[in-house]
């Protein structure tokens, strides 16, 4: 299977902004690295740094939470089929099952998830140690689609799906909305839903607001990357074409989502209970 891996040291250019350096070390996206800096958890040469304009060179020592970080030898882009019951966060004292632990590579401790799936959901999630890649993937401007199969407690009404397309106001000033939907053949208990932004527990909140109970939620696609035959707990590296496609918007659906297209149901879709 083709792997998308590059030597970070070969493409690093110094001096480099601290948050960019942290991202290339696999700490997280640039945005997440900036939050670590602001919170006083980052040191450069034994001095706490809280400003964004600091630059570092190849001989500087950078520490996060007192642990020295270094440029990764490889860049990894990994698709994982997260089973239900696993969390995407890399540390939570109240949890025991971490999705990242399912990826058995030597550098797994440097991986972080791009976006997230909640504990009760399953399906496709991407892990990487490339902060720049993660930053672009998560930025709303790039509108990377995420497609899900949702199993509901009862047949869904078309009017409710249209309301979800228009957007519903629940617990914040900005509306929750879906980009498109596709009804499953022979049943309306299952529906395919596509999102762009993907706010926290957005699908569950939308259907709960509309009076439904989500029985299972399976992510089957992120941009041009599909879950396909990947079994729960299995992972694979992305191809160069997939990484490039994620960054260029390849695989995003066309249209405004208001035309209902029947979609062929695959064995096992939505069976994340």
Catalytic residue numbers read 118
> What distance in Å separates the CA atoms of residue 230 and residue 235, rounded to the nearest whole number?
7
> What distance in Å separates the CA atoms of residue 117 and residue 210, rounded to the nearest whole number?
21
Please give the backbone phi and psi of residue 50, each rounded to the nearest 5 degrees, phi first. -120, -5
């Amino acid at each position: 299977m083709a792997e998308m891996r590059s030597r970070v040291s070969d493409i690093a250019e110094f001096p480099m902004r601290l948050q960019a350096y942290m991202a290339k070390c696999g700490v997280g996206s640039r945005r997440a690295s900036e939050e670590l800096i602001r919170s006083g958890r980052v040191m450069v040469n034994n001095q706490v740094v809280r400003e964004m304009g600091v630059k570092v060179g190849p001989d500087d020592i950078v520490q996060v939470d007192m642990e020295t970080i270094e440029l990764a030898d490889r860049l990894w882009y990994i698709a994982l089929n997260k089973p239900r019951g696993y969390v995407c966060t890399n540390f939570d004292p109240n949890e025991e099952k971490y999705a990242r632990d399912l990826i058995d590579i030597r550098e797994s401790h440097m991986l972080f998830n791009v976006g997230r799936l909640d504990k009760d959901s399953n399906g496709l999630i991407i892990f990487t140690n490339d902060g720049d890649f993660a930053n672009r993937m998560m930025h709303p401007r790039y509108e990377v689609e995420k497609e899900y199969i949702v199993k509901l407690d009862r047949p869904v009404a078309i009017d409710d799906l249209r309301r979800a397309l228009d957007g519903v106001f629940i617990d914040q000033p900005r509306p929750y909305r879906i980009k498109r939907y596709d009804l499953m053949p022979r049943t309306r208990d299952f529906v395919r839903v596509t999102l762009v932004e993907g706010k926290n527990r957005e699908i569950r909140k939308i259907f709960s607001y509309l009076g439904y109970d989500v029985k299972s939620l399976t992510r089957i696609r992120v941009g041009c990357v599909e879950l396909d035959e990947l079994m729960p707990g299995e992972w694979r590296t992305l191809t160069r074409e997939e990484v490039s496609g994620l960054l260029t918007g390849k695989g995003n659906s066309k249209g405004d989502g208001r035309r209902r297209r029947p979609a062929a149901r695959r064995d096992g879709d939505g069976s994340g209970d």
